[in-house]
Amino acid sequence: MIIDCAHYQDGLRQEEGPASVQDAAARSREGGFVWLGLFEPDAKEFDEVQAAFGLHELAVEDAQSEHLRPKTELYGEDVRLVVLITARYDDQAEEVDFGKISIFLAPTFVIAVRQGVASELRGARQRLEQRPDLLKMGSAAVLWAILDQVVDAYTPVVAGLDTDVDQIEATVFSGTVASTQRIYKLRREATDFYRAVHPLLGVVTTIQRVTAGKEFKELRPYLRDVHDNLLLVDEEVAAQRDLLRTVLEANMAVMSTEQTRVSIQQNATIEQLTILATVFLPLTFVTGFFGQNFRWLVADISTPLAFVVYGIGGLVVPLGLLWLWLRRRRARPIPPPAAPAAALDADT
């Protein structure tokens, strides 16, 4: 879809409303340049633009591709393709939305092809139209305006990621286990954002080198400002990735500590149940033995004294023997582990 198409000359827009692609292309040959904005154009619109401005087929193919990193390439003598990855932070979903802007740059035209919701450029056009001194420098000023808006939009993304990282860091280093899935998701978001930011440094450096001529003298400070802001964002994102790796390792350590604590509790419970079962084992045997209807038992255990001697005594004796065995076992020292063979060889 064509968003806007305007012809600029001597720093001013030559018509109020959007011009057709054919009219704008024809006017650009008479002087000035054309700024054409497209949003997710279909094949028919791309064919129309390609025919009107004579774009290289490989450049058009790159502009239609969805999986590209920031880059800049020269097609022909004066048509340069600049690919930018845009980003916007979604507070509700706690994730980064990415988009793409493909810019066809020539002395007589600028064609900006936007893809994704995070690639709005209306503010860049309005701000540049209020600066005729910059518009007089031609299409390079449009490229600066787009770069500046894209890089400025990175700052809220860095702030949003910082907030999420701080929350996870506070949770983990307080000794509480955080969601590993959330940490992995946040690290993936930071990695994707880093892939959008870091290659752009090389793109901006190339643009600075291309615009090193005297005719772009007034534009160079603005490009340096974009480069400085982008460098700061790149350092912040790299620090976030390193911090998330540390947080992930710390979270694994906290999980291991928690699992060890639960294991110790389970072992203590099993030990208590084992002692209880050990105590009742001889008691069950004795009571089961004396509960049989043998003639000897029925004939001899007929008085209270015999019941106490054989019945109660039969329970006390195994309990006493069990107590002595457990006490002797606890008092026995545990032998130290055997030294490894390699260590024994080293000592000798």
pLDDT for position 339: 47
Is residue 261 a part of any domain in this protein? no
Is residue 72 a part of any domain in this protein? yes
* Residue 204: CATH number of its domain: 3.30.460.20
How much is the CA Rg of the chain, to the nearest whole Å? 39
For 25, the domain range is 2-256
Residue 147 pLDDT > 90: yes
Q: 235 and 309 share a domain?
A: no
pLDDT for position 299: 63
Residue 234 pLDDT > 90: yes
Average pLDDT over residues 19-40: 81
Q: Token pair for residue 34?
A: 């054309």
Q: What is the pLDDT of residues 103-127, one digit of tens each?
A: 999 988 899 988 887 677 888 888 8
Q: 152 and 172 share a domain?
A: yes
Whether residue 207 contacts residue 223, with contact meaning beta carbons closer than 8 Å, is answered with: yes
Among 32-36, 203-207, 316-320, the range with the most confident prediction by mean pLDDT is 203-207
Is residue 119 a part of any domain in this protein? yes
Angle between helices 313-331 and 220-290 (to 10 degrees): 140
Q: 129 and 8 share a domain?
A: yes
Residue 306 CA, chain-centre distance (Å), reads 79
Q: 252 and 270 share a domain?
A: no
Residue 70 pLDDT > 80: yes
Is residue 14 a part of any domain in this protein? yes
Q: 53 and 200 share a domain?
A: yes
Q: 143 and 207 share a domain?
A: yes
Residue 285 pLDDT > 80: no
Residue 145 pLDDT > 50: yes
Q: 183 and 283 share a domain?
A: no
Q: 244 and 323 share a domain?
A: no
Confidence of residue 342 (pLDDT cuts 50, 70, 90): very low
Q: 93 and 181 share a domain?
A: yes
Average pLDDT over residues 2-11: 82
Is residue 194 a part of any domain in this protein? yes
pLDDT for position 332: 62
pTM: 0.72
Alpha-helical runs (H) found in the chain:
21-28, 43-53, 57-64, 122-129, 132-135, 139-173, 180-210, 220-290, 295-300, 304-306, 313-331, 341-347
207-242 burial: b if 16+ Cβ within 10 Å, else e = bbeebeeeebeebeebbeebbebbeebbebbeebbe
- Last residue in a domain, options 256, 283, 302: 256
Is residue 342 a part of any domain in this protein? no
Dihedrals phi, psi of 211, to nearest 5 degrees: -95, 35
* Residue 4, number of CB atoms within 10 A of its CB: 16
Q: How many domains does the chain have?
A: 2
- Last residue in a domain, options 206, 236, 256: 256
Confidence of residue 343 (pLDDT cuts 50, 70, 90): very low
Is residue 344 a part of any domain in this protein? no
Percent of the chain with pLDDT over 70: 84
Q: 31 and 81 share a domain?
A: yes
Q: 246 and 276 share a domain?
A: no
pLDDT for position 201: 92
Q: 153 and 272 share a domain?
A: no
Q: For residues 76 and 36, give the distance between their C-alpha atoms in angstroms, rounded to a whole number.
A: 20
- Cα distances (Å, whole numbers) of residue 228 to 190, 223, 312, 348: 20, 9, 91, 64
Is residue 292 a part of any domain in this protein? yes
